[in-house]
Structure 1
């Protein structure tokens, strides 16, 4: 039985219910300038991401599911997103005021307007076995002459489509089809039939029209897509990690959606000419006066070497250097981190902050390293990663920094050991680990206010382990309880919650194998020596299992493929050493052997081997670099999954 999905709007101080469809809201052209003033610079509290369970029919309580305790704000609606230019504000630490901006955005029909953070798309929350319908109404200005002579020249900035990043759904028709174009003044409904066997996890959605993807995503057109799971493990099948991460009353652990974005807005010398020079400060950073309006209308704001010198900041849920509230010492929280940016790597760390520190004193990115050294003086907190790209690990990965590349997701279990303020830091990175190709110094992303609770005693792993074991004692079915507890006591193993079985050597299809080589040469962005050609596709056969070899000849690039995720087999550094094994010390790959992902950073000089199964779906989709301006300029390739012909080959399109 299919059910409609919940739809939750997370920007603002609380979850906002969708009103009835047809509510009177402005849907055409540019949203009017908000009457209210920009918020106070001291009022930068990041919103709590409330994940709302679906309204379910009584039959959903059967079949061995463990229902999570209901939460307020349930909505039974199919989301309708209007795409339009929206006026709003983004805080600028350099001036200690809010810059006015006008950017493309998703506007949820019926949702109250929010001038503070309008550039964070609503969060869609659903479950395996459900149907998600997302209606897009493109109300941007028509562009009658937007077809360039070269398809790999950025173009058609007001045309769009939608990609459900990481979902295991059909790539055809009106499902996760990124090969269609939704022109201005056209409405279209996407429908994702999520399999009953789909993993629960953290996914996201964003535009994916070749030529305009980077510009629209950088405008803030991105949102979380959470699949909640209620399937406990059984003696013969794995279950959803959600069924373990529960409090004594049955509610889920406190969750935070952390949507990281890089909104590269700029003000022009001539506001009416998007190709006129960007207005700059004496130090070269981008300037916007009190009466200017920042926009994103040109790819000179998005290309290589632009983000760092711009002086712009990575935002969290639409806020610059915000404050997280509501944390309690000793309480386990689940941080669902989503890198929805396009131009900067994020090395996520949490460090205790000196009580007298004042984040408002930070005015330039250059001052961050010194400020952090003076005020973020504790040891980095231990993070426990339980999933990457929405897919649960076989064992929690323990570290003090989590490196997020564009397109990555990371589910972390966090425990703040005592009350006080904590720094959320984007840590140092060597050039080889940065999508910019340059070393990155430390920056402050935000702060966390932690209230009094139960101070952590002993080692963080022991503390977390004891709470997960207690949860397993209370909530796991009797026929798997002992096994789950034994795994947890053995280094926080999560074998009972794996989304996919490991791909063994013997499962690989004989004679199969694929290669992807990224390169930039002669002004071309290429995959396997060719820039993107929509008339060409790599043919694969449904049911085959293959190993892929990923390399890069120029720079480093996040590899992303739609529909079918992949499992890391081995990653060889330039000396041929496998750095995917635990303890390798490589900031990108340490401990990645065996994990499942849909996006993976390919460092120059490294050779990556991943394995994947072509399951369930036929049709055409894409693989590409997730530095999205690289994708828009040609670093993409179509992939076509065909039915087998019964003789070791495939049946092509047409009637034969």
Structure 2
């Protein structure tokens, strides 16, 4: 016991020494540069992971008093938030220079009931919003950005885009709106209406009426003003929107997974980490006020002392720009953060891809036994670590055992069964919830493994990189191959204590399924999925099958095109093959008119690079994903020829965003296309009517036309009951 105490004391002392060393180095650098933090407190905080600040909901008293209702008697399900949109000055750590770079970016800041700004450790992740089924959530969005030149006409007045002449060119960078990505709410009026433009100086109150049967889950919110979406989201205008439920399952209804994920000893929820990934592609300007350029015209991404990073041009987006920038994916606005965990404790990690230009793989791996976390911190934080060199550091110092985990939810929706894996792949817009247990004390690397070309949104194979670290304390020592059993046993104990008696045995049996032979260590979650009934063949029978095709490339005049099509045929136009019936976003044109109360099957394809498909309002169920050889790669345990596993186990699961993968690159399209994937999905058009959009979630593609306005409407001869 004394030996363990001494070892722990030595570890803590060394950790404090290395932090002091790091801070002292950064303080010295701060004296030499104006673009770094000069006090120890800020430097220390920038190295440690922190949850997003929670924006507290309050009743708007002016409305309550208007009706003579005392605050103590007001509806407790009516919550009110204030979000300000404006320029924010802050810092982002740059490991390559061992310094904190000044940045001046658009961002969200929260406001409390006393009109005071909510404290945020880092300005470039928005406050976390939480609500419950049955709540009415009101968010007052105040646009405090100045008017911008990209959105002014000759008379200097704010310009509304009324035709697609300007709609599909980046514009109106300071106009904004708000999208509640993943919420099952109305898309019209002052609800999740992304067809609005909230211009500089304008405030608008959104109201989300959350039904009593809305699924709990991990959602997020972000700006969605067409023409400026990528620029604003990549600046950090994104935050978590968590729906928390306490509905326990019954013999006739499913419940919320959160009612199971509770510690039987404390009665509290298992520890959570909200992990919001971002790619903030800032660049510094030259003396002429424009992006600095190299001799070949490429962006010069370097920032000199005294310069401030900004995002003011769409030249900062596009294929190859993110790896060329040398920037690092941040987590809650922090580069290479360190999480803190305890040995043997069940943890829920809520992963949100709120970035624009990178596919993110994530793996936990133990650091080498011959080093400690202090040494790894030193190499990462003070070693002038360039992003392209991170793979070598990972290979050298992070080559211990990979830690298995269970994926329990996709895009905020609890899955019918977990996926037991050591790697999860997130594309822009994705969310995944993980359950894991760290087996022993010490340091762990959060690694970004290599990604294949076709499975990446950049159509380039990406090298191994580093996302952060985990510092684990405690005394237990669990064999890595026993982690799943430990997790299963803990969940069974939770079920024994917290599940109602009339469903307890069923839930326990489903959890124990993971220990069965040839079950891929999958835990069944059938009493917790919000969509217990699959969309069967007879439900889509007699309904039109929808087709959606993605294509980027150049037309015969060498113009870049970002188009969609509802036809899979192609045509030759002056020697260039294109979709036969392409279209781009037109705010004045309605594309599909879908029938309320019905279900339809869709087929998705891409004839040029891979695109994340996202549709608002109603999620979809994955029926099959066929590779170019006709193999269903969504089945459990499938590994593709290029090593990709991102679709494995998704068959039958529900999502709102999916990467439409293809092996075709610009210029590859010929007559009778081949070498593409076929995505078969089904969806129900339930409850909500009105206009909304579907689009590519590579947001600079969306801003340049890869989006369509569609609608769900009430049809004749439809009995919704």
Instruction: Give yes or no for the alignment of 1:364 onto 2:383.
Output: no
CA distance in 2, matches of 1:296, 1:37: 26
CA distance in 2, matches of 1:126, 1:304: 37
The Cα of 1:137 is off from its aligned counterpart by: 0.5
Judged with a 3 Å threshold, the aligned counterparts in structure 2 of structure 1 residues 300 and 471 are, in CA distance, closer, same or farther, namely same
Instruction: Give yes or no for the alignment of 1:473 onto 2:496.
Output: yes
CA distance in 1, matches of 2:493, 2:699: 44
1:45 to 18, 43, 48: 48
1:503 to 532, 535, 547: 535
Structure 2, unpaired ranges of 5+:
1-34, 60-75, 154-158, 515-522, 566-581, 663-675
TM-score normalised to structure 2 length: 0.79
What is aligned with 1:87? 89
2:621 to 557, 562, 567: 567
CA distance in 1, matches of 2:467, 2:550: 31
What is aligned with 1:410? 432
Judged with a 3 Å threshold, the aligned counterparts in structure 2 of structure 1 residues 485 and 447 are, in CA distance, closer, same or farther, namely same
The Cα of 1:644 is off from its aligned counterpart by: 1.1
Judged with a 3 Å threshold, the aligned counterparts in structure 2 of structure 1 residues 362 and 617 are, in CA distance, closer, same or farther, namely same
The Cα of 1:456 is off from its aligned counterpart by: 2.2
Pick which of 242-251 and 450-459 moved more: 450-459
1:277-356 mapped onto 2 (5 Å cutoff): 277-278=292-293, 286-325=301-340, 327-354=341-368, 355=372, 356=375
1:221 to 232, 237, 242: 237
Judged with a 3 Å threshold, the aligned counterparts in structure 2 of structure 1 residues 282 and 540 are, in CA distance, closer, same or farther, namely closer
1:9-24 mapped onto 2 (5 Å cutoff): none
CA distance in 2, matches of 1:547, 1:198: 23
The Cα of 1:35 is off from its aligned counterpart by: 10
Contact 1:545 1:612 in 2 (8 A): yes
Structure 1, unpaired ranges of 5+:
1-32, 57-73, 651-656
What is aligned with 2:651? 593
1:22-41 mapped onto 2 (5 Å cutoff): 37=39, 39-40=42-43
Q: What whole-Å deviation, never above 9, does each CA across 1:84-125 have from its counterpart, x for those lacking one?
A: 111100111111000100000111124557685101100000
Instruction: Give yes or no for the alignment of 1:485 onto 2:505.
Output: no
Contact 1:90 1:116 in 2 (8 A): no
1:145-156 mapped onto 2 (5 Å cutoff): 145=153, 149-156=165-172
The Cα of 1:76 is off from its aligned counterpart by: 8.8
Contact 2:57 2:79 in 1 (8 A): no
Judged with a 3 Å threshold, the aligned counterparts in structure 2 of structure 1 residues 504 and 450 are, in CA distance, closer, same or farther, namely same
Judged with a 3 Å threshold, the aligned counterparts in structure 2 of structure 1 residues 321 and 250 are, in CA distance, closer, same or farther, namely same
Pick which of 558-567 and 147-156 moved more: 147-156
What is aligned with 2:548? 516
Find the structure with the greater CA-based Rg: 2
CA distance in 1, matches of 2:639, 2:627: 12
CA distance in 2, matches of 1:123, 1:415: 25
What is aligned with 1:265? 282
The Cα of 1:562 is off from its aligned counterpart by: 0.2
Contact 1:260 1:314 in 2 (8 A): yes
Q: What whole-Å deviation, never above 9, does each CA across 1:567-589 have from its counterpart, x for those lacking one?
A: 10000000111111011114221
Three-state SS of the structure 2 residue aligned to 1:95 is coil
What is aligned with 1:27? none
1:195-234 mapped onto 2 (5 Å cutoff): 195-234=211-250
Three-state SS of the structure 1 residue aligned to 2:92 is strand
Contact 2:58 2:80 in 1 (8 A): no
CA distance in 2, matches of 1:54, 1:190: 14
**Aligned residues: CA RMSD:** 2.5
Q: What whole-Å deviation, never above 9, does each CA across 1:517-544 have from its counterpart, x for those lacking one?
A: 0011321111101111122221101011
Instruction: Give yes or no for the alignment of 1:256 onto 2:261.
Output: no
What is aligned with 1:59? none
CA distance in 2, matches of 1:51, 1:552: 39
2:397 to 375, 384, 387: 375
Instruction: Give yes or no for the alignment of 1:641 onto 2:658.
Output: no
The Cα of 1:377 is off from its aligned counterpart by: 1.5
Judged with a 3 Å threshold, the aligned counterparts in structure 2 of structure 1 residues 52 and 250 are, in CA distance, closer, same or farther, namely farther
Q: What whole-Å deviation, never above 9, does each CA across 1:55-84 have from its counterpart, x for those lacking one?
A: 99xxxxxxxxxxxxxxxxx99952111111
The Cα of 1:454 is off from its aligned counterpart by: 3.0
Judged with a 3 Å threshold, the aligned counterparts in structure 2 of structure 1 residues 113 and 480 are, in CA distance, closer, same or farther, namely closer
Contact 1:564 1:613 in 2 (8 A): yes
Contact 2:613 2:658 in 1 (8 A): yes
TM-score normalised to structure 1 length: 0.87
Task: Give the count of matched residue pairs.
Answer: 597
Q: What whole-Å deviation, never above 9, does each CA across 1:418-451 have from its counterpart, x for those lacking one?
A: 0000000111011011111100111111000000
